[in-house]
C-alpha cells in the first residue's frame, strides 16, 4: 500500500512539472501584439506620421500590466485619427470620409434640399399645406405642344457640296479660260474679304463662276475660288 501511494505521488509531481514547462498559447482573438483594433490604428498612424516627419498628438496607451485596456474613439480623435480632436465620431457613414452634414449645415446652405428629411418636412408642413402645394404645382404644369419644323429656305445660295461632287476636275487642274491681266495683289485682297474658303466659293458661284471670274478669285481657272478644295466633300461622299 505504501509503495502504491509513493508511486502515485511521483507521477503527480511529474505531471505538475510537465505543465509548468509547457509554454502558454497566446489568445489569437486579440491580434498580434495589440489589445484591440484602436490600439493598432494608433500605432499605424504614429508610424506613418514618423515616416512623413510629422508630429502627432499622443493618445494614452494602455500600460503593459493592463493588456486588456482599450483605447476609446475619443482618444483616437484627440490623436487626429478618425475625426477632429475631442469630437465624437458620427454614426452616419460617409463614403468619402468626411463628416455627415447636420441640420446647421443644411440651414447654412439654402441650395441643399431637405425634402428627404422626414422630420424637417413634418416640422413645417401639414396634410393641408402639402395638398395646397401639390395643387399649385399642378396648376403651374404646362404641356408644350410640338410644332412643325421650320422650312429650310430655298434661296440659300449655291450648293458648294453638290458643285464639289459634280466638278469634272481636281484642284489645280485648269479647265476654264481666264482672260485679262492677272494680278496677285488683287487676288489676295479679294480673297481676304471672306472668312473661309467655303464663303469665297459660294460667292464665286453666285457671281457667275466657274465660267466667269469678275473678282479674280480663280486666276488658274480650275473653278475653285481662293484655293477652295473639293476633296473633303468627295471623300465623305465616297468619291476620290
What are the tens digits of pLDDT across the range 110-161? Answer: 667 777 888 887 888 888 888 898 899 899 988 888 888 877 666 667 899 9
**Which residues lie below 8 Å from residue 82, measured CB to CB, with a gap of 6+?**
41, 73, 76, 89
Residue written as grid cell 483605447: 71
Q: What is the mean pLDDT of residues 192-205?
A: 94
* 3-state SS class at 192: coil
User: Given this model, what pLDDT does residue 21 score?
Assistant: 55
Nearest to 202 by CA among 187, 217, 183: 217
User: Using CB atoms within 10 A of its CB, is residue 229 exposed (0-12), middle (13-18) or buried (19+)?
Assistant: middle
Q: What is the rounded average pLDDT for all residues in the chain?
A: 73
Q: CA 206, CA 199: separation in Å to the nearest integer?
A: 11
User: Given this model, what pLDDT does residue 65 score?
Assistant: 46
* 3-state SS class at 93: coil
User: Using CB atoms within 10 A of its CB, is residue 187 exposed (0-12), middle (13-18) or buried (19+)?
Assistant: buried
User: Given this model, what pLDDT does residue 64 score?
Assistant: 47
User: Using CB atoms within 10 A of its CB, is residue 220 exposed (0-12), middle (13-18) or buried (19+)?
Assistant: middle
Using pLDDT thresholds of 50, 70 and 90, give the confidence band for residue 92.
very low
Using pLDDT thresholds of 50, 70 and 90, give the confidence band for residue 43.
confident
| Residue 162 scores a pLDDT above 70 | yes
pTM of the entire predicted model: 0.38
Using pLDDT thresholds of 50, 70 and 90, give the confidence band for residue 106.
low
Amino acid at each position: 500500500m505504501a509503495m502504491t501511494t509513493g508511486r502515485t505521488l511521483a507521477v503527480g509531481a511529474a505531471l505538475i512539472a510537465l505543465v509548468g514547462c509547457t509554454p502558454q498559447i497566446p489568445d489569437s482573438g486579440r491580434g498580434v501584439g495589440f489589445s484591440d483594433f484602436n490600439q493598432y490604428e494608433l500605432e499605424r498612424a504614429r508610424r506613418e506620421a514618423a515616416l512623413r516627419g510629422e508630429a502627432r498628438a499622443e493618445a494614452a496607451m494602455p500600460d503593459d500590466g493592463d493588456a486588456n485596456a482599450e483605447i476609446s474613439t475619443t482618444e483616437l480623435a484627440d490623436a487626429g485619427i478618425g475625426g477632429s480632436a475631442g469630437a465624437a465620431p458620427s454614426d452616419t457613414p460617409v463614403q468619402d470620409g468626411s463628416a455627415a452634414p447636420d441640420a446647421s449645415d443644411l440651414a447654412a446652405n439654402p441650395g441643399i434640399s431637405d425634402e428627404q428629411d422626414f422630420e424637417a418636412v413634418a416640422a413645417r408642413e401639414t396634410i393641408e399645406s402639402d395638398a395646397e402645394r401639390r395643387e399649385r404645382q399642378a396648376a403651374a404644369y404646362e404641356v408644350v405642344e410640338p410644332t412643325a419644323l421650320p422650312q429650310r429656305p430655298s434661296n440659300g445660295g449655291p450648293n458648294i457640296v453638290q458643285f464639289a461632287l459634280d466638278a469634272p476636275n481636281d484642284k489645280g487642274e485648269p479647265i476654264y479660260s481666264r482672260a485679262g491681266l492677272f494680278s496677285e495683289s488683287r487676288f489676295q485682297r479679294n480673297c481676304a474679304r471672306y472668312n473661309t474658303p467655303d464663303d469665297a466659293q459660294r460667292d464665286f458661284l453666285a457671281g457667275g463662276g466657274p465660267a466667269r471670274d469678275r473678282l479674280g478669285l480663280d486666276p488658274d481657272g480650275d473653278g475653285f475660288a481662293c484655293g477652295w478644295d473639293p476633296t473633303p466633300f468627295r471623300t465623305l461622299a465616297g468619291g476620290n
